[in-house]
Amino acid sequence: MKALLSVLCLILLVSVSEAITRPSLENFIGCLHHRTNTDNPITDAISVADNTTAFLSSYVSYTKNKRFLSPNYKKLLAIVAAKHVSHVQATVVCAKSNGIQIRMRSGGHDYEGLSYMSAVPFVILDMYNLRSITVDVPSKKAWVQAGATLGELYTKVTDASDTLAFPAGVCATVGAGGHISGGGYGNLMRKYGITVDHVVDAQLVDVNGKLLNRASMGEDLFWAIRGGGGGSFGVILSWKLNLVDVPKILTVFKVNKTLEQGGTDVLYKWQLVSTKFPEGLFVRAMPQVVNGTKRGEKTIAVVFYAQFLGRTDELMAIMNQNWPELGLKREDCQEMSWLNTTLFWADYPEGTPTSILLDRPSTPGDFFKAKSDYVKKPIPKEGMKKLWKTMLKFNNVVWMQWNPYGGVMDRIPSTATAFPHRKGNLFKIQYYMTWVDANGTEASLNMMKEFYEAAEPYVSSNPREAFFNYRDIDIGSNPSGVTNVNEALIYGSKYFLGNLKRLMQVKAKYDPDNFFKNEQSIPPVRVM
């Protein structure tokens, strides 16, 4: 950190004077009409921020965290739900010329609401109408627009071929724009890596409203948007993806082990073997608080979710040889198509039709807070018991996901894309806590901090790494209208490690005036 600071030839502190005076909404909307044409009218795409039911519905539909359910009417001017690329271009140009900040939202799963909240005058550019997907089976390629959900992408790919897939996340309602740009991952990561490892082209609207592809944007910007987040560099319109091969039949299982059933010992062994399994086997461990056998008693259950690119017989042989402690039985295993595995991972009941993957919820989920960590060496049993003790103190719903590394993730260089967390990791942790009432927010956030502190001795350090797509404002942030480089170095080094320096230089080249910014954006700084 100090070394990087010493070579900075510029310390940037950009304030937004517009925070003092509310820009003219009338001028902004007039500009939108001027910059679009009647062939693709923008009128129906604009929702002025007011407290009408229609506007609130537009805002809430893609607000997944109830903590951010109420729009900031003092600062939010409008939502532009773009229906054509010209609407995206006009929104960028008109927001910039009128001193209005822009926030881009594709699926609304931004954990801290930074894609639709701001403390300075802003508009939301909502991408959910831009959701076309085209699949070309002979070339094993697909184009997907930013507002398409993973569920829509998976369905479209399977409709075209039952032996092709895309290695992305397990939540069907996540938008492709943000998920891919932040380095989204899923249960194919040990075999095929993550989303950004399969992006071969992209369309992006830059700070001047120009539509660029890989050839016209250049390799440095193309590198940055694959894992550095799109929100600092422009508006991602679409991605061109390499699809990957999967068998027609895969095997999955879900096995629970409570503490009383030796869950701690089984999970300790998981840490030793999960990264060494064949690459086609991915086993996620989820420690969570559950009811105990006695009334009013609670315990920890570790739920092991697995997916194997093959049949049950082969999987059983692998498990019996490498991890007999789990006690896997044939009847625990289910064979199914790749598309059906997405329902399994989402915990849908058996027999749920795959059409549910196309649903777009119109109401938010829970109040929640999430955090992340990377683990380099096995957490000792004493450390695990310390985590269990902390979890059992809370009345909230609380769980962790331990996602194994190994396989191809150990072979892709950390500089291949902007996503840096590669070799040297045993697993990634997601911490997650939910609650039901806004009155519980402050106490719940404090609980989560306590939980995170309890894990500190057992995870990566200097820096304590974090996953960009599990956005966490606690690890460092700037105010909405300010980008202080010193602060950006704090959160940026955790999200991007050694790639931060290059990301800042790309930002300085393509958005030198720092128009695209949020509380955790990348600062435009040239490094000597």
Residue 415 DSSP symbol: T
Read off the amino acid at residue 232: S
Closest by alpha carbon to 268, among 382, 190, 374, 373? 382
What does the alpha-carbon distance between residue 520 and residue 476 come to, in Å, rounded to a whole number? 8
Angle between helices 500-510 and 485-496 (to 10 degrees): 120
Closest by alpha carbon to 364, among 211, 508, 173, 518? 173
What does the alpha-carbon distance between residue 457 and residue 71 come to, in Å, rounded to a whole number? 38
CB neighbours of residue 25 within 10 Å: 16
What does the alpha-carbon distance between residue 322 and residue 162 come to, in Å, rounded to a whole number? 30
CB neighbours of residue 381 within 10 Å: 12
CB contact at 8 A, 42 and 90 = yes
- Which residue bears the tokens 């894990």? 455
Tokens found for residue 141: 């390629």
Closest by alpha carbon to 112, among 488, 421, 475, 378? 475
Judge whether 470 counts as a catalytic residue.
yes
Closest by alpha carbon to 309, among 278, 348, 270? 278
User: Residues with Cβ < 8 Å from 458, sequence gap 6 or more?
Assistant: 375, 379, 380, 383
154, 431, 432, 470: the active-site residue: 470
Residue 149 DSSP symbol: B
What does the alpha-carbon distance between residue 61 and residue 67 come to, in Å, rounded to a whole number? 14
What does the alpha-carbon distance between residue 195 and residue 107 come to, in Å, rounded to a whole number? 16
CA of 265: how far to CAs of 245, 326, 359, in Å?
35, 10, 39
Buried/exposed 473-489: b ≥16 CB within 10 Å, e otherwise: eebbbbebbbbbbebbb
Measured in Å, how far apart are the chain's first and last C-alpha atoms? 15
Closest by alpha carbon to 492, among 515, 468, 470? 468
286: left (phi over 0), alpha (psi -120 to 50) or beta: beta
Residue 133 DSSP symbol: E
Tokens found for residue 171: 């939540």
CB contact at 8 A, 87 and 41 = no
Instruction: Detail the DSSP E strand segments found in 189-313.
Output: 199-205, 211-212, 235-242, 244-245, 250-258, 281-291, 298-308
By annotation, the residues acting in catalysis are 470
